[in-house]
Amino acid sequence: MPNSASEAPGGGADSAPEAVPDAAPEDGAEYGPEGRADDGAAYGAECGPEYDLAVIGAGPAGLAGAVTASELGLSVALLDASGQPGGQYYRHPSPALGATRPEALHHNWPAFAALLRRLAAAEVTHLAGHHVWTVVAAPDAAGSWDVHALTGANGDEDRPGRVRARAVLLATGAYERQLPFPGWTLPGVVGAGGAQAMLKSALALPGRRVVVAGSGPLLLAVAASLAAAGARVPAVVEASDYLGYARRPGALLSQPAKLAEAAVHGAALLRHGVRLRTRSAVTQVHGSDRVEAVTVSRLDRQWRPVRGSGRRIACDALAVGHGLVPQLELAVGLGCTTRRTVDGTHALELGPLQETSVPGIWAAGETGGVGGFQLAFTEGELAGLAIAARLRGRAVAGEGRRSPRVLRRRRARLRAFADAMAAVHAPGPGWPQWLDDATEVCRCEEVTAGRIREAVADYGARDARTVKLLTRAGMGWCQGRMCGAAVACLAAQAQGPRRAQGAQPEPSPERRPLAVPVRLGALAALDEPNSPGTAEPKPTER
Amino acid sequence: MPTRHSSDLLVIGAGVIGAACAYYAARRGLNVTVVDRGPVAGGTTGAGEGNLLVSDKGPGPELELAQLSTSLWHELSDALPREIEYEAKGGLVVASGTEDLAALRTFAARQAAAGVTAETVPGDRLGDLEPHLTPGLAGGVHYPQDAQVQPALAAAHLLRAAGGRVRLRLGEPVTGILTATDGRVRGVRTPSGDLHAPCVVNAAGAWGGELARLAGVLLPVRPRRGFVLVTEPLPRVVRRKVYSADYVADVASGSAALQTSAVVEGTPAGPVLIGASRERVGFDRTLSVEVLRRLAAQAVRLFPVLATVRALRTYAGFRPYLPDHLPAIGHDPRRPGLLHACGHEGAGIGLAPATGQIIAALAAGDEPPLDVRPFRPERFGDGAAC
Ligand SMILES: Cc1cc2nc3c(=O)[nH]c(=O)nc-3n(C[C@H](O)[C@H](O)[C@H](O)COP(=O)(O)OP(=O)(O)OC[C@H]3O[C@@H](n4cnc5c(N)ncnc54)[C@H](O)[C@@H]3O)c2cc1C
Ligand SMILES: Cc1cc2nc3c(=O)[nH]c(=O)nc-3n(C[C@H](O)[C@H](O)[C@H](O)COP(=O)(O)OP(=O)(O)OC[C@H]3O[C@@H](n4cnc5c(N)ncnc54)[C@H](O)[C@@H]3O)c2cc1C
């Protein structure tokens, strides 16, 4: 593959990325004596050509978008934090682990293998190990975007780099939603998707007897994989009711492949003797310094635990998750409009051809709403076609199975399916009743549910942001990725009936202008813009 | 429209300024209603830093306001719970060259004449105050009166400590100012009803200009954006508020380009705050990489150990800015019954208690604690909104 992180971008004679001159100053003197920190000398090394397209995220959506756009003649840079392409779905063991058949853990390996072949054949510059911390309009080149990334963001080795492009495709995927409950901070409690990812990439199991809990179709897949890999799975505990699917037959039946997939998992679970308990939740984890057992309670329609219904199940690990949350920090930082999804998360508002509300910024995959790898793949292709058409000033091309019309129809079908599932698995309003006031909600800053309720009831917080200001919930290392959903929900609920007055604005997605932490030395080493004409910020504080 | 319970004073805005107005008015026995379209501290108060500085102010009306506030914050630190994170930790302004240092010392001498405590520190003693400060600086001035609060908590606790005389109405935007036939203000309009009061305080911060417009008067408040960088939690590497004196030299030279270095400080919770930038770009939140570069470079220059420390987040806020850099505080003669308490720019946290005390005195018909003429809201004239 022509895609090592260190290789200089561009290159191939026939793809010939337009060699727009490098905007970075070549002469070190330009920086002035104090313009860069000592280790920042490499900055600028990657300020090579301007690309037509920068794709952020090498999951199914980003890969499909990058490959499609490249095949249509665009110069493309594909950046991903991970060392390997594939994203969340096509995770595979690093070669060092010596796994002989990674495909054994995947149902859709051939599709991925085909994408990788196309990637290898295309002139895509794959920048692996690039953590993008922000995307901004290029200050000195109208209509272009600067993608700022860190390489090797471990220890002190991270170095800043910048990729400039005329269009950006955001394919940053999603992360798992966690809802807290008493005991969820005990060692042995892991994310369900995280357990799956560990299994796929490190071939490791979280325990020998693993209860899988939460809500969403991913739980079945996780339980099936864990069982297949040799774990005992005493129960899959699903908070919603799969009967909900029966109420939405249209959208669901239009997806035979998806249903077949579920059936495969179902059959696998039966084979391993796994019990599925619906409308139930883990309401307590037991153990002194590690998980020893969990209490599973029945839930009513609102997801309130039914008193006296608790049953104890012995286990040494709990894999838990409540669906996925689109990863939007880069998009929100750019000012892209979002929408509320049926299960209470935020996703990007997209045009018919995957463009966000900010012209020149496109999105595909989970960023536009969680919908699975097939949808991600479809949207990536559509975005690739549309971006190529825009930049080349032509009509959107593509034939047969890859015609925009076919892709759009497939997208609509898959979206409807995803929305129907999301509605079934949306957290019920009563889930905060799992929490006692002592339950830690923000683990980084050790903020309890009681303190969050107090901030709302007594101190005038009304949303996740002001709860954070008054309690520090969400200010720690994870920047609220872990507790944000729960805090927002507690803030809304603790306000009680006044919320019903309608004056309450829709909560907006959290802002995280730094998508990943950045060393101050790396920030200080960025190059100064060399255009005196632009509105110069004047850092001062009195 | 339903009319609701009337109070003596109606404060628009639950930021630190509105909270301080409510607190001091309640202590004078007034019944106060505070209305905000959002939560407590959801505006600039929740997006700034909590420096309570005298060190950066030359002699003049703003310094007087700051000096009164300094003593009031000290009192408040006893009256309010510890959670407001009040710390009288002092400020340290440093100069890298001898010229800068001379300008800094001249500035400090003028401040001292106006009553500010300012102690000169020779270059070789700076390390005693701040062990991690870069070596080789020419010298500095230590301002022991500079202090610190956590602004959002300070606002929330001021409102709470005001007790039963203060009613909070959150999530209610003010959409109109009600006036009687004689032009006097008699309350405000919100989507859920009218609220009546003989006195209305515009404490709407950067949105104070819009509120003034609703009342039919001009007050040219504009937003001035600032970014703050927040690092991962650290053991105390920075003890005081530390910034470089470059800007003092600029002021002394009379140059139009006012440039101030970032203020670097540790917080009780661990993170180091680096802030803040200043630019007038409207209410635009999009990140400026150049601003972050400068803030980081300035911080690393002062404290080289910070180079390997990670910034976890950054946030932007909008300072309420008036063209002459002074707030508008007091009665608006153009609209009887309307008082303004906004436009504090980059110093609203510091200046909040003095502002609150002035507004409370004026609303109760008493003499304010200091001369408020420099803060006259009508000083920008009646011309078309600029
Ligand atoms: C933990 C987890 C486990 C999952 N397990 C399954 C499963 O077992 N079965 C199943 O059907 N579906 C699973 N899914 C859902 C599945 O991953 C998605 O449907 C599919 O991968 C979506 O593709 P995508 O391209 O939109 O995003 P992803 O595949 O998530 O790819 C996003 C990529 O963007 C990169 N990225 C994000 N932010 C940045 C940044 N700032 N800088 C650089 N790179 C960045 C990430 O490294 C990642 O490679 C899982 C999802 C998660 C989160
Ligand atoms: C980056 C940055 C750093 C700063 N650092 C410092 C510092 O170190 N020290 C310092 O002293 N100051 C600092 N400041 C300045 C300080 O934050 C402000 O001066 C101060 O917060 C202003 O408070 P306020 O109450 O006037 O405004 P706000 O806190 O903005 O409150 C105004 C309130 O009015 C409400 N409102 C507006 N319109 C309406 C309406 N129509 N109806 C109802 N409600 C309405 C808003 O919702 C808001 O809550 C900084 C500012 C920034 C941006």
Ligand 2 pocket, residue B202 CB under 6 Å? no
Where a domain ends, among A322, A354, A373?
A322
Domain B89-145+222-321: which topology? D-Amino Acid Oxidase; Chain A, domain 2 (3.30.9)
The CATH number of the domain holding residue A317 is 3.50.50.60
Q: How far is CA A358 from CA A52, A326, A353, A366, in A?
A: 17, 18, 13, 18
Pairing of strands B241-244, B91-95: parallel
Q: Are B359 and B339 in contact (CB under 8 A)?
A: yes
Pick the closest to residue B208 from B374, B385, B368, B370 (CA basis).
Answer: B385
The whole-angstrom distance between B51's CA and the closest CA on chain A is 9
Q: What is the mean pLDDT of each run of 10 residues along chain A (542 residues)?
A: 34 32 29 27 50 97 97 96 86 61 63 89 93 93 94 64 96 95 95 91 91 93 92 94 66 64 72 88 96 97 94 97 95 94 94 97 97 94 96 85 91 92 91 92 92 92 89 88 87 62 57 91 76 31 30
- Chain B CB within 8 Å of residue A465 CB: yes
Q: Show the CA angle centred on residue A323, arms to residues A464 and A127, nearest 5°.
A: 90
The whole-angstrom distance between B333's CA and the closest CA on chain A is 31
Domain boundaries, chain B: 9-48+152-221+324-380, 89-145+222-321
Write the DSSP string, B280-347.
--SS-----HHHHHHHHHHHHHH-GGGGGSEEEEEEEEEEEE-TTS--EEEE-TTSTTEEEEE--GGG
The whole-angstrom separation of Cα A56 and Cα A79 is 5
| Interval between CA B317 and ligand 2 midpoint (Å) | 8
Say yes or no: A330 and A370 in one domain. yes
Q: Which two tokens stand for residue B225?
A: 């954006």
| Interval between CA B346 and ligand 2 midpoint (Å) | 9
pLDDT tens digits for range A492-524 = 876 665 443 444 445 677 788 899 999 999 999
- Determine the pLDDT at residue A245: 66
Mutate to test the pocket of ligand 2, among B273, B349, B355, B375 (most ligand atoms within 8 A of CB): B349
- Determine the pLDDT at residue A252: 62
Calculate Rg over the CA atoms of chain A: 24
Contact at CB, A539 and B257, closer than 8 angstroms: no
Mutate to test the pocket of ligand 2, among B87, B319, B342 (most ligand atoms within 8 A of CB): B319
* Residue A520 lies inside a defined structural domain of this protein: no
Residue B62 C-beta-side C-alpha neighbours within 13 Å? 20
Q: Which two tokens stand for residue B252?
A: 């002394």
The whole-angstrom separation of Cα B56 and Cα B48 is 17
Q: Are A136 and B314 in contact (CB under 8 A)?
A: no
| Least confident interval from A87-91, B38-42, B75-79, B162-166 | A87-91
Say yes or no: A233 and A278 in one domain. yes
Report whether CATH 3.40.190.290 matches the domain B9-48+152-221+324-380: no
- Determine the pLDDT at residue A294: 98
Say yes or no: A209 and A289 in one domain. yes
DSSP state letter for B262 = P
- Chain A CB within 8 Å of residue B278 CB: yes
Q: Which two tokens stand for residue B84?
A: 């407001």
Ligand 1 pocket, residue A379 CB under 6 Å? no
In A, minimum Cα distance to B55 occurs at A542
ipTM confidence: 0.90
Q: Which residue has the tokens 């019990």?
A: A275
Where a domain ends, among A322, A337, A356?
A322
Greatest C-alpha distance within chain B:
69
Ligand 1 pocket, residue A261 CB under 6 Å? no
Say yes or no: A338 and A364 in one domain. yes
Say yes or no: A222 and A344 in one domain. no
**Does residue A347 sit in helix, strand or coil?**
strand
Q: Which of residues 205-244 of B touch A (CB under 8 A)?
A: 226, 229, 231-233, 243
- Determine the pLDDT at residue A274: 85
Say yes or no: A261 and A283 in one domain. yes
- Determine the pLDDT at residue A99: 56
Say yes or no: A189 and A312 in one domain. yes
**Could you tell me how many residues make up chain A?**
542
Count: domains in chain A:
3
Q: Are A372 and A364 in contact (CB under 8 A)?
A: no
The whole-angstrom separation of Cα A504 and Cα B37 is 9
CB pairs under 8 A between A and B: 200
Give the global pTM.
0.87
Q: How far is CA A290 from CA A205, A318, A441, in A?
A: 15, 10, 19
The whole-angstrom separation of Cα A217 and Cα A423 is 12
pLDDT tens digits for range B117-167 = 999 999 999 999 999 999 999 999 999 999 999 999 999 999 999 989 999
- The amino acid occupying position A52 is D
Q: Which residue has the tokens 């001898």?
A: B98
- Determine the pLDDT at residue A492: 82
* Residue A487 lies inside a defined structural domain of this protein: yes
Ligand 2 pocket, residue B140 CB under 6 Å? no
Ligand 1 pocket, residue A333 CB under 6 Å? no
Q: Which two tokens stand for residue A388?
A: 């190529």
What residue owns the CA closest to ligand 1's atom 41? A132
Q: Which of A134, A139, A523 sits opposite B296 (nearest CB)?
A: A523
Say yes or no: A182 and A292 in one domain. yes
Say yes or no: A280 and A335 in one domain. no
Residue span of the structural domain in which A316 resides: 178-322
Q: Which residue has the tokens 């139009």?
A: B256
- Determine the pLDDT at residue A408: 95
Calculate Rg over the CA atoms of chain B: 21
